[in-house]
């Protein structure tokens, strides 16, 4: 008898267009200061979001137009007394403040197709999925040391800014090294992942006692959709809104005596999003790995942002040391090196 899956689908459509960043050689982003003058910034808030126009660029949040000739995505602008060269770079569909409003209201947000197409394809290659389905992932080398695209996806700047704002902390760190999760087509035998909240709200393996679910927010999850996330292809299942619950998922949602599948009824939700999207969500949210009922592998890069006082679930120091020793690190600009160093080496500030 064929199993029925009744989860509600929240479908995210691909954007019709994207805004842009203007990136300086050191990685800093062009924006406006409090006086509406051109200035450099390291954080991706509304100040650094631009739109291309026939005459140059327009600052999205304020509507300020800046005339400049953009030739092969490169332009020259005066910032203070300095004349600087900037490269336009694939940006977001919305202003960061719009994403933040949704995140605070719902406990999750999707940055749809936020990764540039070339980075997405390179991540497919590393994962061995989609256009590179014929390949198998190399597990002997940390994925972040295999391609600069993996490193750049790890530090996508708007999602970092959103996590800092949502958690009310700047010095976040990763709970574990960036890794890929490959979901193979379900064979009818493999053990399936159950419903849970994520570390540190799950049973602790890093020396922490699970924190009060009603207290300060201690962690956020970040799923980078390498493949298209669809219900049939095993997109993550959620109980949206459950981050506000006092408890983790009920035991009956993981009772597989009658069926090998964890709960898959209409109280659950599946967020369908195109490859290259980033789904950011509160770690208290109940969720489980999706069940891949397609004939293709499905890949995601999983990350967990942790508050400064949470001990990491896994040590990230060794991965960072291997990254620094690899050629990949020198392909990153100054801002990217700073961001990846912070996420992999920040230490908990426990009194």
Question: If DSSP states are collapsed to H, E and C, what string results for the chain?
Answer: CCCCCCCEEEECCCCCCCCEEEECCCCCEEEECCCCCEEEECCCCHHHCEEEECCEEEECCCCCEEECCCECCEEEEEECCEEEEEEEEECCCCCHHHHHHHHHHHCEEEECCCCCHHHHHHHHHHHCCHHHCCCCCCCCCCHHHCCHHHHHHHCCHHHHHHHHHHHCCCCCEECCCCEEEEECCCCCCCCCCCCECCCCCCCCCCCCCCCCCCCCCCEEEEEEECCCECCCECCCEEECCHHHCCCCCCHHHHCCCCCCCCCCCCCCEEEEECCCCEEEEECCCEEECCCECCCCCEEEEEEEEECCCCCCCCCCHHHHHHHHHCHHHHHCCHHHHHHHHHHHHCCCCCC
Is the per-residue pLDDT at 347 higher than 90?
no
Higher pLDDT, 255 or 334: 334
Confidence of residue 68 (pLDDT cuts 50, 70, 90): very high
Same domain, 194 and 70: no
Q: Is residue 315 part of a domain?
A: yes
Q: Are residues 39 and 168 in the same domain?
A: no
Tens-place pLDDT, residues 32-51: 999 999 999 999 999 999 99
Could you tell me the pLDDT band of residue 4, with boundaries at 50, 70 and 90?
Answer: confident
Task: List CB contacts of 293: < 8 A, sequence separation 6 or more.
Answer: 5, 185, 186, 232, 233, 234
The structure tokens 């490169």 sit at 74
CB atoms within 10 A of CB 245: 16
In a domain, 53, yes or no: yes
CATH number of the domain encompassing residue 171: 2.60.120.620
Q: Examine residue 3 and state whether it is found in any structural domain, yes or no.
A: no
Domain match, 112 and 260 both = yes
Domain boundary among 57, 90, 123: 90
pLDDT exceeds cutoff 50 at 1? no
Together in a domain, 98 and 164: yes
Is position 150 within any domain?
A: yes
Strand partners for 341 = none
Q: Are residues 202 and 81 in the same domain?
A: no
pLDDT tens per residue, range 293-312: 999 999 999 999 999 998 88
What count of other Cβ atoms lies within 10 Å of the Cβ of residue 187?
A: 7
Query: Is 328 part of any domain?
Result: yes
Measured CA to CA in angstroms, residue 268 lies from 10, 105, 285, 320 at distances of 11, 18, 11, 37
- pLDDT on residue 190: 81
pLDDT of 255: 84
Last residue of a domain, one of 29, 59, 90: 90
Alpha carbon 254 to chain centroid, angstroms: 27
> Which pLDDT value is given to residue 260?
82
Banded model confidence at residue 204, pLDDT cuts 50, 70, 90? low
Q: So what's the pLDDT on residue 249?
A: 93
Last residue of a domain, one of 90, 111, 136: 90
Indicate if 205 and 301 belong to the same structural domain.
Answer: yes
Whether 93 contacts 15, CB under 8 Å: yes
The reported pLDDT for the residue numbered 203 is 66
pLDDT at 205 over 80: no
259 with 157, same domain: the answer is yes
The arithmetic mean of pLDDT across residues 250-263, rounded, is 84
Domain of 84, in residue numbers:
20-90
Round the average pLDDT of the chain to a whole number and report it. 93
* Model confidence pLDDT, tens digit, residues 275-285: 999 999 999 99
3 confidence band (pLDDT: 50, 70, 90): low
Q: What is the mean pLDDT of residues 235-247?
A: 95
191 confidence band (pLDDT: 50, 70, 90): confident
**163, 282 contact by CB (below 8 A):** no
Q: How far apart are CA 235 and CA 272, in angstroms?
A: 7
Is the same domain home to 71 and 136?
no
**pLDDT at site 349:** 57
Q: Is 350 within a domain? A: no
Share above pLDDT 70 across residues of the chain, in percent, rounded to a whole number: 96
Task: List the beta bridge partners of residue 196.
Answer: 287
How many domains is the chain built from? 2
pLDDT in tens, 123-174: 999 999 999 999 999 999 999 999 999 999 999 999 999 999 999 999 999 9
Domain identity same for 30 and 77: yes
Whether 213 and 287 share a structural domain: yes
pTM: 0.94
What number is the average pLDDT over the span 104-124?
A: 98
Residue 67 has pLDDT above 70, yes or no: yes
Which pLDDT score is estimated for 57?
A: 97
In-domain check, residue 203:
yes
84 and 190 in a single domain? The answer is: no
pLDDT band at 2 (very low <50, low <70, confident <90, very high): very low
85 with 102, same domain?
no
Binned at pLDDT 50, 70 and 90, residue 209 comes out as confident
């Amino acid at each position: 008898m064929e199993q029925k899956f009744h989860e509600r689908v929240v479908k995210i459509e691909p954007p019709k267009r994207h805004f842009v960043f203007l990136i300086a050689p050191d990685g800093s982003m062009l924006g406006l200061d409090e006086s509406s003058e051109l200035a450099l910034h390291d954080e991706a808030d509304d100040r650094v979001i631009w739109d291309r126009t026939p005459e140059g660029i327009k600052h999205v949040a304020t509507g300020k137009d800046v005339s400049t000739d953009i030739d092969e995505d490169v332009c020259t602008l005066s910032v203070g007394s300095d004349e600087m060269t900037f490269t336009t770079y694939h940006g977001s569909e919305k202003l960061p403040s719009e994403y933040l409003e949704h995140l605070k209201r719902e406990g999750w947000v999707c940055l749809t197709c936020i990764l540039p197409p070339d980075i997405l394809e390179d991540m497919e290659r590393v994962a061995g999925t989609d256009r590179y389905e014929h390949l198998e992932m190399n597990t002997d080398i940390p994925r972040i040391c295999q391609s600069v695209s993996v490193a750049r996806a790890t530090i996508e700047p708007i999602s970092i800014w959103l996590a800092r704002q949502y958690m009310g902390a700047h010095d976040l760190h990763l709970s574990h090294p960036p890794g890929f999760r490959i979901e193979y087509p379900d064979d009818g035998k493999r053990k399936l992942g159950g419903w849970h909240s994520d570390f540190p709200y799950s049973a602790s393996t890093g020396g922490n006692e699970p924190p009060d679910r009603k207290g300060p927010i201690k962690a956020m999850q970040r799923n980078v959709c390498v493949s298209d996330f669809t219900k049939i292809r095993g997109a993550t299942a959620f109980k949206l809104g459950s981050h506000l619950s006092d408890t983790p998922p009920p035991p009956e949602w993981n009772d597989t005596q009658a069926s090998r599948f964890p709960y898959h009824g209409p109280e659950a939700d599946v967020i369908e999003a195109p490859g290259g999207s980033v789904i950011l969500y509160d770690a208290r949210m109940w969720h489980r790995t999706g069940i891949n009922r397609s004939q293709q592998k499905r890949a995601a890069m999983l990350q967990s942002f942790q508050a400064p006082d949470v001990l990491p679930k896994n040590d990230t120091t060794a991965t960072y040391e291997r990254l620094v020793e690899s050629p990949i690190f020198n392909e990153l600009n100054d801002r990217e090196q700073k961001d990846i160093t912070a996420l992999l080496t920040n230490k908990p500030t426990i009194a």
